[in-house]
Structure formats: structure tokens, C-alpha cells
Structure 1
Amino acid sequence: MNPDAFVAYFPIVTLLLVVVLLVSMFRILREYERGVVFLLGRFYRVKGPGLVIIVPIVQQMVRVDLRTLVMDVPTQDVISKDNVSVRVNAVVYYRVIDPEKAINQVEAYHEATSQLSQTTLRSVLGQHELDEMLSQREVLNVDIQRILDKQTDVWGIKVSNVEIKHVDLDESMVRAIARQAEAERVRRAKVIHATGEQEAADKLAKAAEILGRQSGSLQLRYLQTLTEIAGDKSSTIVFPLPTELLQWIKDNKKAD
């Protein structure tokens, strides 16, 4: 290379390098971002948001998003407490509250939270029966959220919510649950019918007791029934006359 050409281009190259270094020093962090800065490999401080100056080569920065992240937990095969196999998936809402811990305490906090969510989902649901999984999702959501939040606290992560989305059963189990529900409806219908019969019997017994206290009450009831039947279109009416009614009629004739 021509020495004269090297001398001529050296200031230009030097100027370009200085411009590149100056440009690389300035970083802009958004309102929801923070920068974890390392000085010669050691943690220095958390910077941002806004304009951040990083000394090239000496300092390095890792961006961290502080917004709430939505993580879809893959479908998990779960064996319930009553030995029923189900497939469950969920969604987890979490955010970073301590950027320094999220970078220094765990290699990849998103992947670590995902794996922990899967194992916790299987562990918690495996302690409950199928009926509880289907009818008490809110309680299970709170239990899973509480366990995840406690375990991810050392990573600087806050798990704000967990929602179980689907509990899928195989076809045979769906038919078994349908039969169980039908049997439960039949049982309730029989109980309601028996309760109605019991209440009706109690009312009739009380009515008979009241009629039996007054002389002639039963006979008057018979006469009232005859009057109601007489209004029907039937041409023939067979109505038994009790001996008490005949005796009451004879007594009235003698009194006259």
C-alpha cells in the first residue's frame, strides 16, 4: 500500500471510527424498558427509561421489558386424584418487577417461567378430583397463581394471574359424565315428587282432623262434592253414601 495513500486516508478512517463509537454510546429506552448495565462483566446498575450512555467495550447493556407478558402454557396430560386422565391448558400473565434479578438470577426468565408453569399446573391439578377441576376453576386458578408467584419471586418476576382455559376429556369419560348427570336429574325428580306427596299427605291428614272435630262437617263436604260433580256433563254419577250421612239425615227428620 502506498504510504502516501495510507497517510491521506488515516484521518478519514479515524474519524469514521470515532463517529461509530459515539453513535454506539447512546441508547434510547422506551417507558416500559429498562437496561441492565454491566461494567467489565460485573453488574453496575439499572438504567432507563430515556437516553442512556454506554461506554463501548467497557460496558454492556441488556434490555428488559417491564410490560405484562402473556404466556400460553402448552396442553398438559394430568391424572386427577380420582384417576381420570384429562388434558389441560392454561394462560399465565406475568411481568418483570426487578430487572437485575431477572437477568442475573436465571438464564432465560421467560423459558424458566414457562417450564415452572407446566410442572405447577400438573402438580396442583393432580391433587384434585375431576369434579373440582370442572366446577372450581377459580379456586384452582388462585392456587396455581399463588404457588408460581412465590417461586418466581427470587427471579424478580410477579405472576399476576393464571387462567385454566380448557379441560378436555376423552369420549368415554364424556359419556360417563352425561350418564351421571342424567341419574342425578332422575334422583332429584324422585326426591321432589316424594316431598310433594309427603306434604300433600300432611295437609290431608290435618284437613281430616279438622273435619272430624265438628259434627256434620264430613257430611257437608260430601254434599259440596255432589254439587261440584252435578255441573259436569256426565249423565251417570255413582257416589257412595256413608252411614254417618244417612244417620245425620234421619236425625234431622226426627228433629223436624
Structure 2
Amino acid sequence: MRINAVCNYRVIDAPLWLAQHRRPDEYLYHEFQFAIRAVIGGKSMDHLLSDKQKIDEELSAVMREKRLQGIELNNAGMKDLILPSEIRTILTKVVEAEKSAQANNIRRREETAAT
């Protein structure tokens, strides 16, 4: 799967931030990648698809725990979760099966009510 994510931050002490890292943007990018892996790695596919708000909160918390000096983290979160075509096909079949089962239950109830 591929995840598009965003991390909003503000530099509050530029000399400190720049003195600590040769390439501060790359450093932040790598730390953000590690945070995403830490949050996403233990989650099931259903959880990732259903509770985006909680994942965003966890990702923001993990980034704040890093206490990166010289910057202030505002928030972090997932923008998009892009699934491989095989998984999308499987999920489509699952949804179709669930909807078909729901339709069958409704038909049965209507037939029972009619008799």
C-alpha cells in the first residue's frame, strides 16, 4: 500500500534547527516516515480504512513525542491510503457480498410480512 501523509510544522528557532541537522528537511522527512511506520504497522486494513481520525491523532502524538528541537509540530495525518489493485478487487468483492446478503435479508422480511 502507499500512504500520502502531511506534517505541518513551524520553525521556531532557525539557528538551532539548522545547526542540529545538515539537511533538516530530509531529517524531518525520515522521522515522519518512521512515525508513519510505527503507527500504521500494527493496524489491520479494516482499522486503517475505518478510523482515519484516530490514526491522525496517533501520528501527531508520535511526532510530538520526538521533541524535535527548533520546530513546533502543529499536526500530522494521512491524506490518502492507496491500495494495490488486487486488494481493491478483493475489497470490492467483499462489499458486493455484504450488500447482496443485506438485500436477501430484506427480501426475506418482505416475503414473510406478505405471507
What is the TM-score normalised by the length of structure 2?
0.81
Identical aligned residues as a percent: 26
**Which residue of structure 2 lines up, in the alignment, with residue 137 of structure 1?**
52
Map of 1:1-256 to 2, 5 A cutoff?
86-99=1-14, 101-104=16-19, 106-107=20-21, 108-151=23-66, 153-198=67-112, 200=113
Q: Check 1:195–1:98 CA distance in 2 against 1; reply closer, same or farther (3 A cut).
A: farther
Per-residue deviation, 1:196: 3.9
Per-residue deviation, 1:114: 0.9
Q: Which structure carries more helix by proportion?
A: 2
Distance 2:17 2:48 in 1: 32
Q: Deviations over 1:93-116 (max 9, x none)?
A: 111234454245x22432221110
Residue 146 of structure 1 aligns to a residue in which SS?
helix
Residue 128 of structure 1 aligns to a residue in which SS?
coil
Question: Aligned-residue CA RMSD in angstroms?
Answer: 2.2
Per-residue deviation, 1:118: 0.7
Q: Give the letter aligned to residue 130 of structure 1.
A: M
Residue 93 of structure 1 aligns to a residue in which SS?
strand
Larger radius of gyration: 1
Q: Is the 8 A contact 2:59 2:77 kept in 1?
A: no
Per-residue deviation, 1:87: 1.4
Per-residue deviation, 1:176: 0.7
What is the TM-score normalised by the length of structure 1?
0.40
Per-residue deviation, 1:122: 1.5
Q: Give the letter aligned to residue 44 of structure 2.
A: E
Distance 1:142 1:157 in 2: 19
Q: Is the 8 A contact 1:141 1:163 kept in 2?
A: yes
Per-residue deviation, 1:180: 0.3
Q: Is the 8 A contact 1:149 1:157 kept in 2?
A: no
Aligned length: 114
Q: Which has the higher contact order (CA 8 A, sep 6+)?
A: 2
Q: Is the 8 A contact 1:101 1:154 kept in 2?
A: no
Per-residue deviation, 1:197: 4.5
Q: Check 1:99–1:191 CA distance in 2 against 1; reply closer, same or farther (3 A cut).
A: same
Per-residue deviation, 1:187: 1.4
